[in-house]
Structure 1
């Protein structure tokens, strides 16, 4: 699928990462529902499957062959500090939502972003089991399967549909709790942000320890629909730092973020719970 954004300075990169992400998605789909081999990482006990590695290999081979001067950051590749010297790099999650993938749930995606000087400038989410492709560049519209995304409705709702853990909801002050209709957990963080971009939910609250690769592509897609992903002081995220982990975050339409801030959500601190 071509982005159709020929006048955009990052359109060639978007076409490149879209093609690579589609190929990685096809490879991952071959393992989906077929009981792939799984191991658990020693650092956080998160699962990784043979499908994650297969998708990662395709992405790394294709992307770095086409852009050998770009840096590389992937969940499934050992971190190389050389990326910090790169003005531009690929930020990759071969399968965002691995737990869902292993369980046979279809809410998972291949997430690829081009990050330039700390911010995403091209991003794609390919959700093969759902037959969906989200795309955006820094100066172009956000697209879903080639059609422009307009984002969430601006206002007028008595309650906001917010994806967050029940444990976080219980810790919120009463004004924030009464404002929220809790949406059940969406296992892929990247896809959860895409759901805000396409208007299915209004916002999400992200526990601490999300990583660059979970966020970068979806951050841009959401931003190009008028929404935002921010930290609890409402500042945008900076990517490709020495640490690629982030503290507690919130994302939503501008209206939803303003309403949550007014209700005191920004005063919450992360609870230290792993996962997002």
Structure 2
């Protein structure tokens, strides 16, 4: 199956899933906590159920990895895998912040090959496929020449900004949206703290890459996906030269 066909499928599914999520947004959805402190709402589950049914029926030979679906080893043997976050930025969703997203990627051989990231409350749809570029609302995305580090607009955890010696950064509740904003030029650097998981970053990774940017760890290595452990170390997204400068500065701050 061509990445272009997969992109058509997941982009349409992301829009439909977004419409489902909007029924609950700012409408006091039922909520609870999983693990130690991770919030979940009935909207997360409704969207996950919809996407699982829609995408797995369309591509029954693909694997499945979603934040809201119990994981298993079956996906590790599949050539292609859907990597899904039904609502990325659930805390923001609960608080009424509009910067949450439905994130869908198709991963092949450890890297995303098709990506759809939809911010329903903003009606912003990012799309990308390997070698086909990235778009926002159908308009191509391409990174401009980045500023120097001391002039960069940074979004991410405050702790990392302190290490960089810059002003306190913007905090965007959806990590996927935070990373994708680099592709638009609205921010220059997006930082993800340690333990982001595949579903948080896979779609945004491809969007940034196809716009000419780089998402990588502090050693400059891009993430690999669909491993047994979906967690990742600290990551930085930016234009390549700026990404290397930020990663080096953060590495020094951590004693690397």
TM-score (norm 1): 0.88
Taking the aligned partners of 1:181 and 1:149, their CA distance within structure 2 comes to: 27
2:114 is the counterpart of 1:122: yes
Alignment check: 8 A CA contact 2:118 2:126 kept: yes
Taking the aligned partners of 1:265 and 1:58, their CA distance within structure 2 comes to: 39
| Deviation at residue 268 of structure 1 after TM alignment | 4.0
Q: Which residue is equivalent to 2:216?
A: 230
2:243 is the counterpart of 1:267: no
* Alignment match of 1:183 (pick from 169, 177, 187): 169
Gaps of 5+ in 2: none
* Alignment match of 2:16 (pick from 3, 10, 23): 23
2:154 is the counterpart of 1:168: no
In structure 2, relative to structure 1, the CA distance for the partners of 1:129 and 1:17 (3 Å cut) is same
2:98 is the counterpart of 1:106: yes
Alignment check: 8 A CA contact 2:160 2:250 kept: no
* Alignment match of 2:179 (pick from 169, 193, 196): 193
The answer to which of 202-211 and 71-80 deviates more is: 202-211
CA RMSD of aligned residues (A): 1.7
2:29 is the counterpart of 1:39: no
Alignment check: 8 A CA contact 1:205 1:251 kept: yes
Q: Which residue is equivalent to 1:4?
A: none
Alignment check: 8 A CA contact 1:163 1:184 kept: yes
The answer to which of 66-75 and 248-257 deviates more is: 248-257
Taking the aligned partners of 2:144 and 2:55, their CA distance within structure 1 comes to: 32
Q: How many pairs does the alignment contain? A: 255
Gaps of 5+ in 1: 1-7, 271-276
Taking the aligned partners of 2:7 and 2:216, their CA distance within structure 1 comes to: 23
Taking the aligned partners of 2:122 and 2:32, their CA distance within structure 1 comes to: 25
| Deviation at residue 156 of structure 1 after TM alignment | 5.9
Alignment check: 8 A CA contact 2:113 2:206 kept: yes
| Deviation at residue 113 of structure 1 after TM alignment | 0.1
TM-score (norm 2): 0.95
